[in-house]
Structure formats: C-alpha cells, structure tokens
C-alpha cells in the first residue's frame, strides 16, 4: 500500500544501549546496518535508530512509503514542501527528506 507511514527513525546518542533497551523492554528484534544504525524489519511500522550525529535529524523522523520517489518529490514541492536532503540510496531503497509548511521534517521512501 503506497503513501503510508512505514518507518520512524529516532536520533540516538549510542545505538548499542538504545537497541538493548528496545530489545529488553519490548522484545523488538533489531538488525544492525553498521555500527551506527539498527532497525526492526517487521514490514509494518518499523523503528530505526540513527547513531551517526551527522545523519541524524533533530527529532523523530516519520518516513512515508511511496510508489515513485520522483513523483513524490514533485508533489511535495508543488504542495509547498521544502526538500531538506536530496534523494539517496540505502539498503532496501531510496529516500529524500523534506519539511512540511509547519517545519516538521519527514522523509519519503521507495523500496527497491
């Protein structure tokens, strides 16, 4: 189903302790993608932990699943959104970040 929130990414000071917290407190199974990133991969609403300070957003980052990334980028711009991070690839797909008119940062992603 396109155009649904599928992921929430949290900025974290350290992935290890935060990952352990979510595993211990809620039983989340998390997959590491290097030393600064880990996420659940249940395919519903997943949680990502971003430990790279240069890549992390200031607040939680909702990610919207879209069918066509370029179409979504055009629609965001046409609706008055501001692109804050150009499209980039990551394991499993591509995404870009944007700000809505209230200044909230979100991302749109397309899977491979």
pLDDT in tens, 4-61: 999 999 999 999 999 999 999 999 999 999 999 999 999 889 999 999 999 999 999 9
Q: Which candidate, 38, 37, 95, places its Cα nearest to that of 62?
A: 95
- List the domain range (segments joined by +) for residue 8: 4-111
Which residues touch 13 (CB under 8 Å, ≥6 apart)? Answer: 51
DSSP β-bridge partners for residue 12 = none
Q: How many domains does the chain have?
A: 1
pTM of the complete model: 0.89
**Rg of the chain, C-alpha, whole Å:** 14
**What CATH number is attached to the domain comprising 55?**
3.10.180.10
């Amino acid at each position: 189903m396109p155009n649904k929130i599928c992921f929430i990414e949290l900025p974290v000071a350290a992935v290890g302790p935060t990952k352990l917290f979510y595993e211990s407190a809620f039983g989340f199974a998390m997959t590491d993608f290097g030393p600064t990133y880990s996420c659940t991969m249940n395919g519903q609403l997943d949680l990502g932990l971003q430990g790279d300070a240069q890549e992390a957003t200031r607040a939680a980052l909702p990610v919207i699943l879209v069918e066509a990334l370029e179409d979504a980028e055009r629609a965001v711009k046409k609706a008055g959104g501001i692109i804050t991070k150009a499209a980039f690839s990551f394991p499993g797909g591509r995404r870009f970040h944007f700000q809505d008119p209230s200044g909230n940062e979100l991302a749109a992603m397309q899977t491979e």
